[in-house]
Every structure is written in structure tokens, then in C-alpha cells.
Copies of this chain bind each other. A is one copy, B any other.
């Protein structure tokens, strides 16, 4: 009776309810729902025939489909989307899940340790694959540089960045340098650049190179080159992530096609496609959900991805995600992803 037929295909309450029940049942069972079962399950006191009519409508609108004529209905991507957008009642986390997260994401760990833990927790708690990108360091601040002579015209350069980050690299020089020469060069660079942003520091060194045409030029040029290499390396590092629990995905019937699995695993391994997906989430405000091929990647057909950026001081440092079959318990996974992101951010706050 009461229906809100305002928009193009706005569904009345009963239709929505039936869709909701269908999606929930399919998520927990994995079997297509027939009209008879759905009628019972919905507790709506309607006959299977009525349900059939409703299903016909839903199918017409593209929210459900049937694998074949006599196999009941299954949600489509569009169906999942509507469910996720409008019908989700997210379940509160149980206390043991919360405490497990809190305990394992304690700030005493190293940055890498935290990333590993977060990824492992996502994987364990959801029985799917957990992904966490390595936090990028937005402001790369030159702090101190040291040079150590090695044999064979090589110099070990150690650059301390930000508050505690240390990068080191071997410089091949044109001749041997004495320790005092290296000390002199380091002192000079440190004085020149301490506290500067790495980009600024680099520019300064380059400017200075023109003025100071003395015996340490070689080394300084190398030092600048090191800065550049560090830059490119930290860029590469920033664009990396940790995956835990890929093998969990083998448990799901809908992914048991070996070809699909292979494609998925290779996507994880090659990191390219998957990274661009994660990168695109880095500016999102909170949880984002990609259902099936919504993400635009063919390998993710049949999979959904739930992502959340994690932030320190309101600055986004990375993204974490859970990857699993489309038929996943969104209501359970979403709060896990959410809390993990928050806790990871907090833990990193004490670290960076």
C-alpha cells in the first residue's frame, strides 16, 4: 500500500526488506535463494508467489539475477551496492576483538612491525587477505649526514631523516677520500642543510656547488646524487605494501577457480594494479568499499575490497584494506577495518 515510488526505481519497503534478507542469507550461506525459502526467512507472512513477483521486479532493475532458470536468485554487484549503501547495520565489535587489536598494535613496535601486525590482524580477524601500505613520510627533513670511508674508492653515506629514519647508501667516488676530508664535507653539509626539507636541501647543495669549487666537489656531487637516490627509493618504498593471508582466499568456493586465484595472487605479487587502487583511496575520508569489478580491475571480479586510510595528526600516511569474496560479511569486516586504521594511526603517532 504505502510505497515511495518517487525516483526512477525507488523500491518500496517490502521490496527493500526482501532484498536485504536475500543478501544477508546469501552472504552467510552462499546458496541462491528461492521464493519459498525467502518467503519464510523474511517473516513477512507473504506467499512464495508474491515473493516471486517482487523478485521479478528486482531482477528487472538489476539488483538480483539467477545463475540459471531454476536456481533461485543471487545479488548482483548493484544489489550488493544498494545493500552496502542503505541497509547495513554494522555490528559492534566484540570485546575480545577490540582487545586483540589494541594489544597487538601497541606503539612499542617498530614501524615495520606495526604494519606487519596490522596486516596480520586484518587477515586473522576476517579470514581474508589483509593489506597495509607502508606509511609514506610526507615531510622528508634533512637532519644529519655522515660519511664513512670504505675501501676501493667507496664511501658509505648515512643520512638521518625526519626524527629517526636512517638511510644509507654506498657512493662510488673518483678517488680515495681521507677521513678528515669526509668529516669536513659532512660538517659542511650538515650546517648547510640541517632541518631543511629534503627538496630544499638538495637545491641548496646544488646552488652551493657552483660557488665552492674546491677539492671536495666530487664528494658533494655524489652526496647530492645520494639525496636524489634516497628520494627515488623512498618513493618506491612508499609505494609498497604488505599482504598477509592470501591463502585464506583459497577457502572460498567462489574463488576456487585456479585461474582466478592465480590472477589474484599475481596481482598481489606484481603490486602495480593493486597499488593504484589503494593509492586512489588515500584521499578518501574513511572506509571505502569496492564491490566486484567496481574498482575497474578485472582480477578483482568476484572480490570486494574494503579500504580505509590511516592518519597521524590528520595527515594520511597510508591505506589498509581487506580483500575477500564479494560474498563477505560487510557488517563484520567494516568495523574491523575501521578500528585497525584508527589504532594503527595512533600507534604510529608515537613512532614517527
Determine the chain B residues whose CB is within 8 A of the CB of A265 once the complex forms. 246-247, 250
Considering the complex, give the chain B residue whose CB is closest to the CB of A155.
B164
Q: Is A170 an interface residue (CB 8 A)?
A: yes
A158 to B261, CA, bound (A): 43
Contact of A146 among B146, B164, B247 (CB under 8 A): B146
A156 to B110, CA, bound (A): 13
Q: Mark A164-188, 1 if CB is under 8 A from B, else 0.
A: 1010101000000000000000000
Determine the chain B residues whose CB is within 8 A of the CB of A156 once the complex forms. 160, 163-164, 166
Cβ–Cβ contact B166 & A151, under 8 A: no
* Copies of the chain in the assembly: 2
10 A-B pairs besides A143-B148, A158-B160, A247-B262 with CB distance below 8 A are: A146-B146, A150-B164, A154-B164, A156-B160, A156-B163, A156-B164, A158-B158, A166-B168, A250-B261, A258-B261
Known interface pairs A258-B250, A258-B256; A151-B163 also in contact (CB < 8 Å): yes
Determine the chain B residues whose CB is within 8 A of the CB of A247 once the complex forms. 262, 265-266, 269
Q: Is A234 an interface residue (CB 8 A)?
A: no
Cβ–Cβ contact A148 & B144, under 8 A: yes
Considering the complex, give the chain B residue whose CB is closest to the CB of A261.
B250
A247 to B261, CA, bound (A): 9
A residues 135-165 in Cβ contact with B at 8 Å: 143-144, 146, 148, 150-151, 154, 156, 158, 160, 163-164
Considering the complex, give the chain B residue whose CB is closest to the CB of A160.
B148
Cβ–Cβ contact A158 & B166, under 8 A: yes
Closest 4 CB pairs of A and B: A166-B168, A250-B262, A247-B265, A156-B164
A residues 245-279 in Cβ contact with B at 8 Å: 246-247, 250-251, 256, 258, 261-262, 265-266, 269
Determine the chain B residues whose CB is within 8 A of the CB of A269 once the complex forms. 246-247
Considering the complex, give the chain B residue whose CB is closest to the CB of A269.
B247
Can you pick out 24 interface pairs between chain A and chain B where the beta carbons lie within 8 Å of each other? A143-B148, A144-B148, A146-B146, A146-B158, A150-B164, A151-B163, A154-B164, A156-B160, A156-B163, A156-B164, A158-B160, A158-B166, A164-B170, A166-B166, A166-B168, A246-B265, A246-B269, A247-B266, A247-B269, A250-B258, A250-B262, A250-B265, A256-B258, A258-B258
A151 to B164, CA, bound (A): 10
Considering the complex, give the chain B residue whose CB is closest to the CB of A250.
B262
A residues 261-299 in Cβ contact with B at 8 Å: 261-262, 265-266, 269
A258 to B257, CA, bound (A): 9
